[in-house]
A and B are shown apart, each in its own frame.
Chain A
Amino acid sequence: MRPRGTPTVVRAGVPVPLALPVAVLLGVLVALPLLRLVQVLWQEGDLAGILGSPGLGTAIGHTVVLAVAVTVTAVPIGVALALALRRPDLPGRAFWRAAVLLPVVVPDFVLGYSWTQAYARAGFTDTLLGLHWDGLLGPVGVWLVLVVNAAPLAYLVVAVGLAARSEPDLERAARASGAGSTTVLVTITLRLVLPAVAAASVLVFVLTLGTFAIPQVLGTPAGFRTVTTRIYADLSIGGDPTSFLEAVSLALLLVLVAVVCVAPSDALLGPRLRSARPADAQGQQSVPGGRAARRGQAVGVGLYLLLTMAVPLAALALSSVTRALGVPPTPGNWTLDHFRQVLTVRTVEALGRSVGLAVVAASLLVLLGGLVAVGERRRAGRATATLITLTLVLPGSTLAVALLITYGRWLSGTLTLILLAYLAKLWAFAHRPIAGALDRLPPDELHAARASGAALLTAVRTVALRPLAPALLGAWLICFLTALHEVTMSSLLYGPGSETLAVVVLNSQELGRIGPTAALSVVLTVLVAAPALLLSPVVGRLRVPHDGPRAEVARVG
């Protein structure tokens, strides 16, 4: 196919073949460990005995029911938030839009723990008003906090879908055709965001299947077991071969459940999800609505955030500075003792490890994600990109167990093993935004640079890098934050001298040290939130306003 006289290097776009090293790395990080998982079970497992154990069936049942329940609750909340927050006339809109994303920067076990500080026995509302909720520790509490944790994600996916698919004119056309606002919502708007709703559902479902920290904090004390918490219990408490094999089979079952549930929906939705049109995530209301509805929506969003985020986080902050459990959290009872108590050499070392690990992981991940995204432009790279996207389905617990049995012999208990797990788990997180930004880059801009005399690399550097910068920085930030508060895999893989700060917090919580755990949680949250708050305006400022044809249309007349 190659035209005569044209050097391969130019036609290939990228001078080195990328597909091969990427595929090898993917094999080392994911394929080989998964195969090893199967092999171990095949060779040593008393499969019938393990699969027949009653606890296993219960754990799987709990996990699936929980994932379904969280999905059908969190996605409608995400849709409602996206619809309410796209109204340009919503009072305090900019603040709400930032506040809704708060659970993204708050580590999930900190969120779960903060709920216990707010609403459980001897918590904030109990001390102040004598109100507490016993059901918080148990399946209902796990479900509710998982919903709060997942809703922002559903909101983000749906909001982007709204902005991309539902042009204001489509809704205006329906209004001008005689449809009232509710009819437009049902017949037009919701139909247009259906693919985004489906995508959000798959995402929330998969993440809930693999979630560990919230069921561990809120479910385990009440004896409510999921697959992930059972794996943790098997590996950290039970040291015998039976519990090890049970962990291995649970890990394998978890990924099977994920694949079985997600494969049909991805086949159904995949092509549609990938052809999303470029859009700014602003979105706007097509027709002004009534003032009462506007105020009602603002109050609704405010109340939701107050109860789900503000009160728990305030309770967490207060119990980190309050002298003892059950004492009223008034300034007279405030002390910094808990912080002094937890700021030991061990904590500071863990903090340093966490930050270092997150920086290294995020930087490598942006590089790896970028490689796959660029490789994807050629036919050979497309399969690897699909494989990378598939790793999204892999639960962290499965990956951790698989990596442990594959490389544990050499790397057990080292930071390197945790780093490998992060790379495998977060590769897709880095790949998606970079690939999306590459897709949005109009090819004519590169063509124009080439036609103006720039060689390929010069063209990429001078024309493409600047518009890609927000995506690169955004991908780095996502990986950094996720790595920083990751606990599912690190709690299974850490050893003496390789605890991350998140693991320290989890262990402290399991020891029942309330004040110190709260203090550690505050430290971790600040650590995560600070770079997010500092860097996200930078990402926003780097974003070049793109004068597409759509922007042109909007300005005419």
Chain B
Amino acid sequence: MSAEPVPEAAAVEIVDLVVEYDGTTALRGVSLTVGAGEVLALLGPSGSGKSTLLHAVAGFLEPRAGTIRLAGTTVSGDGRPVPPERRELAVVFQNYALWPHLSALDTVAYPLRRRGAPRVQARAEALEIMRRLRVDHLAQRRPAELSGGEQQRVGLARALARRPSVYLFDEPTAHLDTHVRGVFLDELVARQQDSGAAAVYATHDAEEALGLADRVALLDHGHVLQVGTPQQVYDEPVDLFAARLTGPASAIDDGQLLVRPGWARLGGPLEGDVRAVRFRGPHSDYLVHSPRGEVLIREAGSPRHAVGAHLGWTLEHGWPLAGGAI
């Protein structure tokens, strides 16, 4: 174990990180901080550098430049990088990364064994962790005999067994069915909060990022576009691209004004024609064409207007976009 962490030190501190793969730059000077016990979501499209960032923090690759500190200790950027096994973190992988030759129980016991626990004790402790995640009945199964959701719970149990100060989640729900996803996410958040550890959660799903993170970092092409609370990045995005990363967005007035679907309502002084209607279950979306531009309006309930209807609407709120239309 390393020295007692400095109380004020951030769990993760990344300064000017640059990563290159075979000549292409994957991260171009990224700086981010994750406070103790904080959940930071990395939100960005495929290829934006989310996984690369996690791999750099975990020590799976050597950055070209920049510094990474974990709990105040420099692990990369200052002399020899600290290898992954001596960084106090745990990783949950997108493709589960369960070892095909080990039973679920031995998989969860693996990090405990590496801490030097005797086999019997490691297995007992692993079983306890699995019980908390309600997967103890799968203890003797191999990965091939588990469903995707079960595999990822075992993957989470393995991470918990590591008792890290930082969790790294690399799109852990990307391969899970929608109905399994919600349950898994609730479990994950609850366990992470129990442990008091910080977490970095990479995802391309805006709802996931906004729903579970304390703060969200928007990534694109190896750059951080914006960092803020979920409300900040949703309500006050730096530009239209950032706005679209975090949810449905309309830009009116020549791209100068951002309108979220809930910021406008049907009925009112402004005129428009319905171009498309989508029933979404709890609510319905209307694409309204008006002289100020096309705007997406969301209202509760089933559709009340058909395509082609001429109607009035009201703009209740807008956010001025700096860059104008993209």
Contacts and interface: CB of A to CB of B under 8 A. Distances in A.
Given A178-B111, A556-B46, A557-B52, A192 B84 contact: no
A257 to B, nearest CB: 32
A194 B101 CA distance: 10
B94 A172 contact: no
A180 B85 CA distance: 6
Contact of A178 (B53, B93, B114, B171): B114
A174 B100 CA distance: 13
A177 interface: yes
A192 B90 contact: no
A175 B85 contact: yes
Interface stretch (A19-27, A144-152, A162-170, A328-336): A162-170
A175 B87 CA distance: 10
A177 B51 contact: no
Interface string B38-52: 000000101111111
A245 B114 CA distance: 62
Given A172-B60, A287-B59, A557 B48 contact: yes
A189 to B, nearest CB: 10
Interface in A151-193: 165, 167-170, 172-181, 183, 187-188, 191-192
A188 B95 CA distance: 17
A555 to B, nearest CB: 6
A10 interface: no
A150 B94 CA distance: 39
A166 to B, nearest CB: 10
Interface centre among B81, B100, B204 (most CB of A within 10 A): B100
B219 to A, nearest CB: 9
B174 A288 contact: no
Interface string A482-515: 0000000000000000000000000000000000
B51 A170 contact: no
A173 B46 contact: no
A125 interface: no
Contact-residue size bin, chain A (C-beta under 8 Å from the other chain)? 20 to 34
Interface in B65-109: 80-81, 83-85, 87, 89-91, 93-95, 97-101
B158 A556 contact: no
B83 A173 contact: no
Nearest to A184: B85
A127 interface: no
B59 A175 contact: yes
A292 to B, nearest CB: 11
A91 to B, nearest CB: 16
Given A172-B60, A177-B111, A557 B101 contact: no
Contacts of A16: none
A169 B97 contact: yes
B271 interface: no
Interface centre among A168, A170, A286 (most CB of B within 10 A): A170
A178 B85 contact: yes
B interface: dominant SS: loop
Nearest to B219: A557
Contacts of B158: 173, 177
A288 B61 contact: yes
A553 interface: yes
B85 A288 contact: no
B145 to A, nearest CB: 15
B97 A287 contact: no
B83 A174 contact: no
B234 interface: no
B44 to A, nearest CB: 8
B24 to A, nearest CB: 12
Contact of A174 (B47, B54, B110, B168): B110
A191 B99 CA distance: 10
Interface in A55-73: none
Contacts of A181: 83
Contacts of A192: 99-101
A176 B46 contact: no
Interface in A260-319: 286-288, 290
B179 interface: no
A290 B82 CA distance: 11
B76 to A, nearest CB: 11
A179 B110 contact: yes
Interface in B156-175: 158, 161-162, 168, 170-171, 174
Nearest to A553: B95
Contact of B91 (A176, A180, A194, A290): A176
Interface centre among A169, A170, A192, A556 (most CB of B within 10 A): A556
Contact of A555 (B47, B93, B202, B204): B47
B114 A173 contact: no
B101 A287 contact: no
A343 to B, nearest CB: 48
B97 A557 contact: no
B208 interface: no
Given A288-B61, A556-B46, A177 B162 contact: yes
A341 B61 CA distance: 59
Contacts of A172: 55, 58, 60, 84, 91, 93, 97
B304 interface: no
A556 B85 contact: no
Contacts of B87: 176
Given A176-B87, A177-B161, 12 more contacts: A169-B93, A170-B99, A172-B84, A174-B110, A177-B85, A177-B114, A178-B111, A287-B61, A556-B174, A557-B50, A557-B170, A557-B204
Please name the 9 residue pairs, one residue from A and one from B, whose CB atoms are nearest each other, closest first: A557-B51, A178-B114, A557-B50, A175-B84, A169-B97, A177-B111, A173-B97, A176-B91, A191-B101
Interface of B: 44, 46-55, 58-62, 80-81, 83-85, 87, 89-91, 93-95, 97-101, 110-111, 114-115, 155, 158, 161-162, 168, 170-171, 174, 202, 204
20 contacts: A170-B97, A170-B98, A172-B58, A172-B60, A174-B110, A175-B83, A176-B168, A178-B111, A179-B110, A179-B114, A180-B85, A188-B99, A287-B60, A288-B81, A553-B94, A556-B94, A557-B51, A557-B52, A557-B53, A557-B171
